[in-house]
Structure formats: structure tokens, C-alpha cells
Amino acid sequence: MSCRFVANSAPKNRRQTIENGLLQTHPLRKGSKPLRKGSPFTPSPSLILIPHCERAAGPSLTPSFSFSSQNIILEIYFLKLCNSTLSTWLSDPTNNVRDLGKMKSWFKQLLSAVAYIHEQGMIHRDLKPSNILLASDVLIKICDLGISASRKIIDDQEVPISRTNDRGTVKYMAPEQKGWAGYSAKVDIFSLGLILAELWVPMSEDLASTVFDNYRSGRSNTVLSQYPEVEHLVNWMTSVNDCDRPDCEEIAKHRFFSGLNEMHNEL
């Protein structure tokens, strides 16, 4: 299933839609009305599916995730059913022999989707395998922006700000998400690092929890010792100090991606 969220937040005779991760503005169809207050179909950001690297044609506008009940139109299009999640795939023992080329391609898609979310001034805050859909054997999508938050940018630099603590899934949280200190989009980078480790090496639930806790605490891990390039990238992405973590652009330039034929020219 693919969904389109439509927010009439600009002129009253126009609407904004997020299609393929890009906000578009279109004239409203005659007779269109906003949802009534208290409607059971009140939209949430979880309706948005951000595809891998795809860019829709047309001008790029800054998305708005403001849900005023007076200016909301919701349209859902059932385009393609995603039958599984990455979480289900990882728990299937028949997938314990990894196709590392495919894992690299999947991770590149995840990175590109997260980069796009960050470019739009947002932080996902709950990246985890159950929020990653398998659209096909080669295509994956990130979903559920239900607890996403805005980034604060000053002079082209993101400034960590205090946010509600413990928002997200504990297993995949960055260390700064678990307290009251401010944090930034680098929490998504930490979660991506944990997901990359899981993609590369099969791990039981207990082992993954131990490994991830080690990363959060700055303790060493040996789970990726046979894959030095992956180990270096994951260690970088999961640095305890968020200032030491790379951004998406820096990750895309890492030697881990060398030789990936399906790499896109830009995030």
C-alpha cells in the first residue's frame, strides 16, 4: 500500500501533496471539502512513505507537517501492497546467508531516504526495521513519520534542541534520545548505523540488544571484525558523541560504497 497525504495549507483553492517524497501544489478539485473536526480519518505523518532515492518531477517545495482540521484533505491511493518489513526479513532464518551486494544497495536506499527527510528539515526519530517496508526484492521504503520532529537550523548549521525524551524505540535509540539533553538529526544516523550492522551480520534478538547497548555505551564490539570497512562505518555512525557522527552526505562518500553500481549521483 502506498499513501498520499494532502494538506491544504496554502491558498484555499490549492492543495499540497507529498508524492514520492516530494511536496507538490495543485488546484483543488471543485467540491473538495476539508475533513470535519473529529473525523476518524484525521491524517498523521505515518501515512507518508518516503521511497528510496526517487525524485518526482516538478518543483520542490518545503513540506509542512501541520495538521489543522480546517485545512486538511486526505487522499489515500492503494498503489502497491508491501507484503513484508525488514524486521520480518531479518527474523527469517532462511535469510541468514546474506547477499552483501543487496544489503549494500538496500542501505544506500535507506541513506538516500533519510537524507531527503533531513533535507526537508525533519528528523524521523524512530528508524527501525519494522518501519522499513519491502516493496520488492530490490526496493525498500521508509514509513511511519508519526513522531518526526523539525530540525532547528541557524546559519546553515543544525542546533540541537531539547525535546521530549524517550520518543522512539529503545533498542534503536541514540544515547542522547534517552535523556533530557538536546539532540539533532544525528539520532537518525545512529539508528541507521545499528540497522547497517543488522543487515550485514545475522544476529539473534539477544545478541543484537547486547551489541546495540555496547555501541550506545561506547564499548567495543567484535561482531563486524571480519568486515573492516563496514566496521569502520558503523563505528563512525554510532559514535557516542553526536558531533563525531557523519551526516548523510559524508556517509555516501565512505569507501564502503565503492563498487556499488546502483549508486545515485546525489542524495
Kindly provide the residue ranges of all beta strands, DSSP E only, lying in the chain, ordered along the sequence.
4-7, 14-19, 22-27, 50-51, 72-75, 84-85, 122-123, 132-134, 140-142, 149-150, 153-154, 157-158
Cβ 152 vs Cβ 54: under 8 Å:
no
Q: Residues 48-86, buried b or exposed e (16+ Cβ, 10 A)?
A: bbbbbbbeeeeeeeebbbebeeebbbbeeeeeeebeebb
The CA distances from residue 6 to 66, 71, 123, 159, in Å, are 11, 10, 20, 30
Instruction: Report the C-alpha gap between 25 and 73 in whole angstroms.
Output: 13
Total residues found in the chain within this entry: 267
**Phi, psi (deg, nearest 5) at residue 115:** -60, -40
Catalytic residues: 126
- Short-list 254, 265, 260, 266, CA closest to 106: 260
